[in-house]
Amino acid sequence: MREVLERPSTPPPSPPRSPSKLKSPSKRAPRVPTPPGRPSLEAFWTADTVNDWNDQYSPQKPLRSPTKLFNNNISPIKNTFDDTPIPSPAKLRSSPTKRSKAAAAAELQARKDWDTRKVLLAESFLLELDQSLTQGQIARLAASTGGVKIIWSKTLNSTAGRANWRRETTKSHSRSDPSKPPLIEHKHFASIELAEKVLTYTPPPPPTDDNDNDDDDGNYQQQQQDPNETKLLNILAHEFCHLANFMISQISTHPHGASFRAWGNKCSALFGATRGIQVTTKHSYEIDYKFVWRCVSNLCDDGREGQGEEGGCGTEYKRHSRSVDPKRHRCG
């Protein structure tokens, strides 16, 4: 007899769980209850009454003091309000980036103005030197060749100025009367070279509060000379004294001898108080080189031990262009 097996059936469902006694917190934002009253009542339109209702029934958000918030030693305080006033940071009058850009633009414009003004200044002061120092003799001697020329040189790097003078002598004989002495004529070629790479623009120093220049009325007066103008005029006066020594005194063997010093003293006496001119045998300026290399090698070519702060002998090599290659050149 075959036994009939019962087919498996789906198990009965599990008994329903008892409802949870914990209620899920509402995810809705707390709502401010509608204040009681109707538009027909006066309290409905009173701002103080409505504000008091909102302050009482609005959800409170815990506020923390910024000082306590970033202090790890003090635990945050809940449901409290710190009414300590927070000082607002001082606002900058202008952005540092914008201020630096404005300063760079102002300096660039000042350099352009100086490049234009220095040419006119040199031409006018050359005429003033000739009239005051030599009573126009230099202009008369060089009149046949176009006068004294001012050349702004881009290749003059070792010095700020150089005076060039050359004299040509021609003799013409009279054909009608050969017994007459020949007519001698001199032509003077004179020029002053000024270095553009040396006579660069330098920002003037800031004004200083110095009460030593007070006048009798107690009014403060301070006169500051432009360092660029003073430097240009001193160099031009130095080179003009060379031309006076060559063309008038006719001395070309001792460029800084007694005759040159006499012309320099005369020029300093005329323009020292008003223009700050002091003609000396050597220029007292510093050339502003664009590139500077300093020796930091532990052993130079001559065998000297390093004496510089970073090693090496500390000798500086200054150039207006990138002409020194440390991989190929050595100190010595």
Q: What is the pLDDT of residues 168-212, one digit of tens each?
A: 988 887 777 777 888 888 899 999 999 888 888 887 766 665 545
Q: What is the pLDDT of residues 139-166, one digit of tens each?
A: 999 999 999 999 998 888 778 889 999 9
Q: Are 190 and 142 in contact (CB under 8 A)?
A: yes
Cβ-based burial of 306 (10 A; exposed 0-12, middle 13-18, buried ≥19):
middle
- Beta strands 149-153 and 183-195 are parallel
Q: Are 204 and 230 in contact (CB under 8 A)?
A: no
Give residue 75's pLDDT.
45
Helix (H, G, I), strand (E, B) or coil at 24: coil
- Residue 241, pLDDT above cutoff 90: yes
Quick one: average pLDDT of 13-35? Answer: 63
Distance CA 240, CA 133 (A): 10
Instruction: Name which of 92-106, 275-289, 316-330 the model is least confident about.
Output: 92-106
Average pLDDT, the chain: 75
Report the run of H or E that residue 220 belongs to, with start and end. Answer: none
Quick one: average pLDDT of 87-109? Answer: 66
The vertex-185 CA angle with 184 and 189, nearest 5°, equals 145
- pTM for this prediction: 0.57
Distance CA 157, CA 320 (A): 8
Domain boundaries, the chain: 103-171+183-201+226-275, 289-331
Instruction: Name which of 60-74, 112-126, 131-145, 213-227 the model is least confident about.
Output: 213-227
Give residue 62's pLDDT.
66
Give residue 224's pLDDT.
60
| Joined tokens for residue 209 | 């509060």
Quick one: average pLDDT of 249-276? Answer: 91
Quick one: average pLDDT of 262-270? Answer: 94
In DSSP terms, 171 is beta-bridged to: 184
Tell me the range of 31-35, 40-44, 45-49, 251-255 where mean pLDDT is highest. 251-255
More confident site: 176 or 93: 176
Q: What is the pLDDT of residues 101-113, one digit of tens each?
A: 888 888 888 888 8
